[in-house]
Every structure is written in C-alpha cells, then in structure tokens.
Amino acid sequence: MSDYIKGNKYPNSKPSTSYSSGRVCVHKGCDTVISRYNKFKYCNKHKPKTYPRIKGRQAPNDLQKPVS
C-alpha cells in the first residue's frame, strides 16, 4: 500500500489578501485590534452602515398622499 496521497493541487490558488497587523479601530475611544484580513479602518461595531443596491422596480415618488 502506498503512503502517499495522489492528486493535483487546486489550480490558480492564491493567498488571502492581508493588511498590516496590529491596526486599531479609528473610532474615538475604541481600542479594538482589527484583524489583518479586515480591509476597513473600523472594527465591525463602529463600521458605517452600508445598504446593498436593490435591483428592480423603483418606487414612484409622485404617489398621492393618503386621505386622513
């Protein structure tokens, strides 16, 4: 029986993008050390909220206001 595993390495594999280590969140009063794989300058708690782009029909702006 063979002691080796046969197979091919996954083609075009590249290492994960990493940034400098030891970075700290820039939010005032936050001392959280950011992961070297996090590309943002804020920690996840202080990162500005972003909303995804919603594709499809846009809501019309010229609708009548309901009668009260």
pLDDT at 14: 80
Per-residue pLDDT tens listing for the chain (68 residues): 567 777 777 777 788 889 999 999 999 999 999 999 999 999 999 998 887 777 776 666 766 666 65
The long-range contacts involving 12-20, CB below 8 angstroms and separated by at least 24 positions, are none
pLDDT at 27: 93
**Tally of CB atoms within 10 A around 46:** 15
pLDDT at 8: 76
Identify any residues that bridge with 24 across adjacent strands, giving them in sequence order: 33
Angle CA 30–44–13, to nearest 5: 125
pTM of the model: 0.53
